[in-house]
Structure 1
Amino acid sequence: MAHLSDPSLELEPQAQPRCFRVIANARAGTVLEAGADAFAQRIAAAFETAGCRAEVELVPPRQLQERLRAAVADDATIPVIAGGDGSINGVLPILVECKRTVAVLPLGTVNVLGRDLGLTGTVEEQIAAICRGEPVAMDLGSVNGRLFHSISGMGFFSLMARQREYARRRFPFSRLVAFLFAAARSILFTHPIRIEMEIAGERRQVEADAVLVTVNQFDGAEWRRAHLDGGEFEVHILDTGGLLSRAKAAFSMLTGGWRNSHNLISLSGTSVTITRRDKRRGHVTFDGEVERGSSPFAYRLLPGALRVIAAQPAELEPLPYPAEYQFPS
């Protein structure tokens, strides 16, 4: 991950502390569990402890874009979007247009991007890492003009995302129970999808239980990106074969040997076009959010489209990748 020089993030010996403006999703699970007022105070106190200052706004999801625009327009502060992967996904157009270094504070369940930026642990630890952090260049993906920062999926992954939302409403008392319920239903009701794919100048037709497109490479048992500016997509295709093949693929992922799995095909390229042959419209996930779209799905890379604060390299530690984004077992 290449760190960049950014004058706005450098402090002179007698300079004022770095000032942030945090726009937080008031419906994020972490906020709801703590209570809005208590959480806002906790955020502000954590920035102060880390030697920075922060203004904190907790807003409903429908107002995130409006308030983030206002934060971006404030040149005296560094804008921070606080929420899960879906909340960050929803404001990508604003972050890309602002042409400034921004920060994210992960408050979701999965936090794919936060983990890859080295922002892990407690909220206080994440904020301390942001205050000590450095800006990095980050690639984004685009699907027919629709932006995403980490992962887009079809088949099992889109079904899992839909089942997860249903399970959260049915089992609000336990995230684990909700996840297991969603995973079981997804495994049972996943149907193969027939697609035509063009990548790296090669065209192929496949039938698969799942297709996953990632911005840059995830690797190892941790499923973590070593580089956010690698300049390529990676496409993972889980062959059809029923529950047994899915179980084998899941086991290989948990043990770190998934790249050698006979049930998994991985391809890479700077652009990907996927056409569903079984129906004209289908569900697609974008960083955990689900939408219906029509084929073809044209994936295009936006190299270095975003400058975002990451933890300093010495702070990065590998963590197990969330099971929600693993292939079904």
Structure 2
Amino acid sequence: MANTSDPLLETETQAQPRCFRVIANARAGTVLEAGAASFARRIEVAFAAAGCRADVELVPPRRLQERLRAAVADEAVTTVVAGGDGSINGALPVLAGCKRPVGVLPLGTVNVLGRDLGLTGTLEEQISAICTGDPVAMDLGSVDGRLFHSLSGMGFFSLMARQREYARRRFPFSRLVAFLFAATRSILFTRSIRIEMEIAGERRQVEADAVLVTVNQFDGAEWRRSRLDGGEFEVHILDTGGLLSRAKAALSMLTGGWRNSHNLVSLTGTSVTIIRRDKRRGHVTFDGEVERRASPFTYRLVPGALNVIAARPAEIQPEPHPAEHMFPS
């Protein structure tokens, strides 16, 4: 049979750029600083420079899931959610159900997940990495169906998250001033919590300033995960025993020496149960988003629940974490 295909048509088809739909949190600091129109144009130009095409939607946080569902349903595009760790957290119920790879464009102050995916540098560099990146399967954590991608904390960590939100409104002109203000107040006003915890089949009673549950382990002194599919939780228990010790522990987080602190105990397991012994509802953070919940908190892994685009290994460069990575927003 004669070959009736049109070479010109095949060339045109092959030349079609990969299409993305970027759903961005309109309240993200990067968007507000640049202005909506300028931000959207910058994103479109950056994707075009990387050989791709992007449609950009700026939506308020309350409509994020709705617009993401519409984007995910369109098989002609690759969905990208743009925002901070909290915005990405809010998108998890939609993204975790997507069978195709999705992208993350970090726009927050800290961007724990973005850095773990190798998405660092300028916005243009991050977009280039998304266009040339490869999909990876990553684990999620769940507490009674409430998903999180990186961190969940209580005690000092939840107080720090709340203080940071207050400080940002009070000191919008300087992120550093806001951070130092929040850290000082958290050191001064943290009250120890008494919990019962079960991990790896071991039950223990703890009185601590803070408990942090992470999805997979952070490596060395940096708050960064080399594996997102390790299939385990790491639990950090910080028990300083006083104001001075708490200040020293905070300093060790700033200098990167937290792993060697004698006030810190780290454990690993595939499931974790935490019960507040005072039986009260307490503040808990999920990727920096603060909620008030009653215990028990039963943490379960959802292995490989999210298929997300990561930078190619050659593009992932080690980058020191700023101190704020302990308290993601």
Same fold (TM over 0.5): yes
Question: Matches of 1:272 and 1:195 in 2, distance apart?
Answer: 12
Does the CA-based 8 Å contact 2:132-2:311 persist in structure 1?
yes
For residue 203 of structure 2, what is the aligned residue in structure 1? 203
Does the CA-based 8 Å contact 1:207-1:240 persist in structure 2?
no
User: What SS is found at the alignment partner of 1:224?
Assistant: coil
For residue 164 of structure 1, what is the aligned residue in structure 2? 164
For residue 3 of structure 1, what is the aligned residue in structure 2? none
Question: Matches of 1:38 and 1:191 in 2, distance apart?
Answer: 45
Shift in Å, 1:253: 4.0
Question: Matches of 2:88 and 2:62 in 1, distance apart?
Answer: 13
Structure 2: gaps (5+ residues): 1-11
Does the CA-based 8 Å contact 1:196-1:204 persist in structure 2?
yes
Most deviating of 76-85 and 96-105: 96-105
State yes or no: 1:228 paired with 2:228.
yes
Shift in Å, 1:169: 1.1
For residue 241 of structure 2, what is the aligned residue in structure 1? 241
For residue 304 of structure 1, what is the aligned residue in structure 2? 304
TM-score (norm 2): 0.93
Deviations 1:96-125 (A, max 9, x none): 112221000000111000000000111101
Question: Matches of 1:48 and 1:325 in 2, distance apart?
Answer: 31
For residue 29 of structure 2, what is the aligned residue in structure 1? 29
Shift in Å, 1:14: 2.6
Question: Matches of 1:179 and 1:248 in 2, distance apart?
Answer: 17
Most deviating of 257-266 and 130-139: 257-266
State yes or no: 1:100 paired with 2:100.
yes
For residue 69 of structure 1, what is the aligned residue in structure 2? 69
Most deviating of 312-321 and 81-90: 312-321
Shift in Å, 1:141: 0.2
What residue identity is the alignment partner of 1:300? Answer: R
For residue 180 of structure 2, what is the aligned residue in structure 1? 180
For residue 5 of structure 2, what is the aligned residue in structure 1? none
Question: Matches of 1:325 and 1:193 in 2, distance apart?
Answer: 22
For residue 3 of structure 2, what is the aligned residue in structure 1? none
Question: Matches of 1:227 and 1:78 in 2, distance apart?
Answer: 24
Most deviating of 93-102 and 284-293: 93-102
Structure 1: gaps (5+ residues): 1-11
Q: Percent sequence identity over matched residues?
A: 85
What residue identity is the alignment partner of 1:27? Answer: R
Max Rg structure: 2
Question: Matches of 2:57 and 2:86 in 1, distance apart?
Answer: 18
What residue identity is the alignment partner of 2:258? Answer: W
Shift in Å, 1:46: 0.1
What residue identity is the alignment partner of 2:28? Answer: A
For residue 9 of structure 1, what is the aligned residue in structure 2? none
For residue 319 of structure 1, what is the aligned residue in structure 2? 319
Question: Matches of 2:256 and 2:116 in 1, distance apart?
Answer: 18
Deviations 1:256-300 (A, max 9, x none): 443332110000000000001123210000000000001000000
What residue identity is the alignment partner of 1:62? Answer: R
Does the CA-based 8 Å contact 2:19-2:52 persist in structure 1?
yes
For residue 276 of structure 2, what is the aligned residue in structure 1? 276
